Amino acid sequence: MNVPTMAEMMAQGKQPEVLFWVGCAGSYDDRAKKITKAFVKILNNAKVEFAVLGTEESCSGDPAKRSGNEFLFQMQAMTNIEILNAYEIKKIVTACPHCYNTLKNEYPELGGKYEVIHHTELLQSLINDGRLKIEGGSFKGQRITFHDPCYLGRANDVYEAPRELLEKMEVELVEMNRCKSNGLCCGAGGAQMFKEAEKGTNEIFIERTDEALSTKSSIIATGCPFCNTMITDGVKNANKENEVQVLDIAEMIVSANKL
């Protein structure tokens, strides 16, 4: 797989069009790594000159900040900013809405000012610029529902980019009752991913997955590695893993176009 690092680019005296911020989930989590690779396939296919930080990347600090550990967050942020600024990075794309939100909104005040976009936004502009083509392909006419990641939707008002991509794949998009700005959280945000939930009557990921399943879709699409984990668990919980797939939009594009 062609994945140049910033260090290699620098050695060749090149500056990439965009830096791909992989994120911790995208780097280490088995499920999320598939999303990372799918996205890289698309980037290579569309001939996007990109690079990653590789071993120089470190956690954006989002889970620390949302746990209340501002110290750890700012240490992470400043370490990352130092590296990003040293490479004179201008534009960053990421497939993780949590990294996206942190880099975009919380880094500038600490000295890290970049244009930050979510991978669905980049894919959308690649299509608009004619660099990437999606033909309906294998998802044409399939019933598919989209789960809005909180940190993409409500947190940053990105609702249309992923939906436009789905539209391009000519799927039959079925919205859940709670969608877009009323979307229900998958339960992973605010560092909940890393701890047991408090005592309650139900699990948030089950509540949300059940709603997604009630749309009778064959695919639950999303744009966040954490949402993906939670909803995959929810689908297993409902014993539907043979009928319903949980996919990232990037993965869908790859398999629709057989990249």
Partner 1 sequence: MHLIPNLLFALLLIVGVGIFVKNIKKIIRNIKLGKAIDRSDNADKRWKNMLLVAFGQSKMVSRPLSGILHIIVYAGFIIINIEVIEILIDGLFGTHRIFKFAGPLYTFLIGSFEILAFMVFVSVIIFWMRRMVIRVPRFWNKEMTSWPKNDALNILYFEMVLMSLFIIMNATDTAFQQLNAGNPISQFVTPLFSNFSVDSLHFIERAAWWIHVIGIFIFLNYLYYSKHLHILLAFPNTFYANLNPKGQLDNLESVTNEVKLMMDPNANPYAAPLEDAVPSKFGASDVTDLTWVQLMNAYTCTECGRCTSVCPANITGKELSPRAIMMKTRDRLEEVGKIIDQKGSFENEGKQLLNDYITPEELWACTSCNACVEACPVNINPLSIIMDMRRFLVMEQSAAPQELNVMMTNIENNGAPWQYSQMDRLNWKDE
Question: Helix 119-128 and helix 249-257: axis angle, to 10°?
Answer: 40
Beta-bridge partner residues of 80: none
Among 151, 173, 222, 244, binds partner 1 (CB under 8 A): 151
H/E element, 117: strand 115-118
Binding mask 14-33 for partner 1 (x = CB under 8 A): --------x-x-xxxx---x
Token readout for 185 is 């959280």
Q: How far is the CB of 183 from partner 1 (least distance, A)?
A: 8
Query: In the range 210-249, which residues lie near partner 1 by CB under 8 A?
Result: none
Nearest to 80, CA basis, from 96, 67, 61? 61
Cα 113 from Cα 85, distance rounded (Å): 9
Q: Which is nearer to partner 1, 127 or 155 (CB)?
A: 155
Contacts with 196 (C-beta within 8 Å, 6 or more apart), sequence order: none
Query: Interface with partner 1 includes 177 (CB under 8 A)?
Result: no
Query: Interface with partner 1 includes 44 (CB under 8 A)?
Result: no
Among 39, 50, 57, 223, binds partner 1 (CB under 8 A): 57
Among 195, 239, 242, 258, binds partner 1 (CB under 8 A): 195
Among positive and negative, which fits the CA dihedral 73, 225, 58, 60? negative
Among 12, 109, 130, 258, binds partner 1 (CB under 8 A): 109
Query: In the range 117-136, which residues lie near partner 1 by CB under 8 A?
Result: none
